[in-house]
Amino acid sequence: MNSLASDQLKMEFNQGKAAVMGATSTSETGAATWSSANEYCPPGQGTACTPPDAHFKLDENTGTTSVYDTAGGLAGTMNTIAETAWIPGRLGSAIKFDGINDNVYEDLYTSNPNAFSVAFWVNPNTASTGMFNLGQVGRLRIAFSSSRTIQVIQTYNTPASTGIWETTATLAFGNWYHIGATLDRSSALNDPVIYINGQRADMTETATPDPASIPYVSSEISFGARRTGATTFAGFFNGIMDDILLYDYIRTPTQMAWDYNRGKPFAWWKMDEGSGTTLYDSSSNGNNSTTWTGDMSYTTGKFNSGVNFDGTDDVVRINPVLSYLDNIGASTDSYTVSAWFKTTTDYSTAATIISKNDGSGQTPAILQR
């Protein structure tokens, strides 16, 4: 009796079948792709995707000397960061900066982009002027202010001036946020765009640069503190940082949202609780129902359970969990809403399935039967 070869055993196991799942995105022609470059852009973009210049995933989870850029091959120097600073992050592992002298810097980044986009996850404990920085002496900084706002700070030359742009929304200590910013630094007349959790944030210009100024554009990367010289730092960050991305072009709002959650919904109510009076948001954004009015009951749904509304006075309300979400659904915004429903009633007037009120009495988003 002859024994089977390893390939023959594999054939016995799966009869030569194969499955390929989980394409990371699509190519410019719309075909599924597993390209490491295309994974940074949403499916259906229609053009070639330009990957980041640098991507510090911070997934090493060990070491005290270097963290590595998986996109451009750079290595960031860990400055005074202890082994115990590695902790679970938003995506994989992350670094907890002590706010005293911890930071990471990289001197070999040479792109010097006029236009740039940056995105990262952050969980702040205190204010810091040095979360993320391009260039020495604070040429460009993304800061977490003492007012718990996000600031973009750019210094200019000839004549010297500074531009400061600050979000109107405030963030809470001890929570994870995805922060993004884009800025075309070819002119002092250009304003940045700031994103919080994939959404464009309202902001004010608290310091206006001289229109004739020339922006300082230099290339060194640092995060956890801002550089004040070749080997000196200030504005140390106290909190956790994870998954830092730097692009040498202006990302679109859709691309910035893709960096945030890879196309997942901003809110997702499965209605699978089966009991109780709270509908939980499965998107991880925490937008759980806050008011349950009427006598709704759980019943068999399209997928698992659903909620039965009587058409008289049953309403479930959800208030945004964070203050900066209050503007989501303004009359100028674009977004997508979908739901499964079944009814046996004919309506003489429209019956509302989902609506979003922007706080001014307007209802920019409404899905009706």
With bands split at pLDDT 50, 70 and 90, how would you rate the model's confidence at 368? low
Tokens representing 26?
């699509």
DSSP symbol at 189: T
Q: Which residues, 6+ apart, have CB-to-CB distance to 105 below 8 Å?
A: 76, 77, 79, 220, 221, 222, 227, 233
Question: 168-195 pLDDT, tens per residue?
Answer: 989 989 999 999 999 998 888 999 999 9
Whether residue 137 has pLDDT greater than 90: no
For tokens 């060990």, name the residue: 62
Please answer whether residues 339 and 353 qualify as being in contact, where contact means their C-beta atoms are separated by less than 8 angstroms.
yes
Average pLDDT, stretch 252-256?
Answer: 93
pTM value > 0.85:
no
Q: Are residues 240 and 301 in the same domain?
A: no
Cα dihedral 88, 199, 25, 288 sign: positive
Whether residue 16 has pLDDT greater than 60: no
Q: Are residues 223 and 86 in the same domain?
A: yes
CA distance 181 to 149: 13
Q: Provide the CB-side half-sphere exposure for 148 (13 A, CA).
A: 14
Q: Are residues 31 and 61 in the same domain?
A: no
Whether residue 359 has pLDDT greater than 80: no
pLDDT of residue 134: 81
Return mean pLDDT, the chain. Answer: 84
For residue 283, with 0-12 CB atoms within 10 Å meaning exposed, 13-18 middle and 19 or more buried, which class applies? middle
DSSP conformation letters of 31-83: -EE--TTGGGS-TT--S-----SEEE-----S-SSEEEBTTT--EEEEES--G
Average pLDDT, stretch 117-132?
Answer: 91
Please answer whether residues 222 and 189 qualify as being in contact, where contact means their C-beta atoms are separated by less than 8 angstroms.
no
Range of lowest pLDDT (6-20, 123-137, 153-167, 332-346): 6-20
Average pLDDT, stretch 199-206?
Answer: 92
Percent of the chain with pLDDT over 90: 43
> Who has greater pLDDT, 314 or 204?
204
pLDDT of residue 324: 44
Establish if 313 belongs to a structural domain. Answer: yes
Cα dihedral 149, 334, 311, 349 sign: positive
Nearest to 210 by CA among 166, 151, 154: 154
Q: Are residues 353 and 304 in the same domain?
A: yes
Q: Are residues 230 and 119 in the same domain?
A: yes
CA angle 181, 182, 186 (to 5 degrees): 145
CA distance 140 to 163: 10
pLDDT of residue 17: 57
User: ω into residue 124 within 30 of 0, thus cis?
Assistant: no
Q: Where in the sequence is the domain holding 218, given as residue range(s)?
A: 52-261
Average pLDDT, stretch 132-143?
Answer: 79
Whether residue 312 has pLDDT greater than 50: yes
Establish if 286 belongs to a structural domain. Answer: no
Please answer whether residues 354 and 362 qualify as being in contact, where contact means their C-beta atoms are separated by less than 8 angstroms.
no
Question: 67-109 pLDDT, tens per residue?
Answer: 999 998 999 999 999 999 999 999 999 999 999 999 999 988 8
CA distance 185 to 23: 35
Please answer whether residues 163 and 188 qualify as being in contact, where contact means their C-beta atoms are separated by less than 8 angstroms.
yes
Q: Are residues 117 and 224 in the same domain?
A: yes
Q: Are residues 58 and 142 in the same domain?
A: yes
Establish if 220 belongs to a structural domain. Answer: yes
CA distance 254 to 260: 10
Q: What is the largest CA-CA distance in the chain?
A: 89
pLDDT of residue 243: 97
Q: Are residues 78 and 207 in the same domain?
A: yes
Whether residue 156 has pLDDT greater than 90: no
Average pLDDT, stretch 285-310?
Answer: 86
Establish if 3 belongs to a structural domain. Answer: no
Please answer whether residues 149 and 241 qualify as being in contact, where contact means their C-beta atoms are separated by less than 8 angstroms.
no
Question: 31-64 pLDDT, tens per residue?
Answer: 888 888 888 999 888 888 999 999 999 999 999 9
Whether residue 317 has pLDDT greater than 60: yes
pLDDT of residue 327: 41
Q: Are residues 39 and 58 in the same domain?
A: no
Domain count for the chain, please give it. Answer: 3
Whether residue 328 has pLDDT greater than 80: no
Q: Are residues 176 and 243 in the same domain?
A: yes
Average pLDDT, stretch 334-359?
Answer: 77
Helix (H, G, I), strand (E, B) or coil at 259: helix
Output phi, psi for 38, to 5 deg: -70, -20
With bands split at pLDDT 50, 70 and 90, how would you rate the model's confidence at 218? low
Q: Which helix (H) or strand (E) holds 245?
A: strand 238-247
pLDDT of residue 333: 58
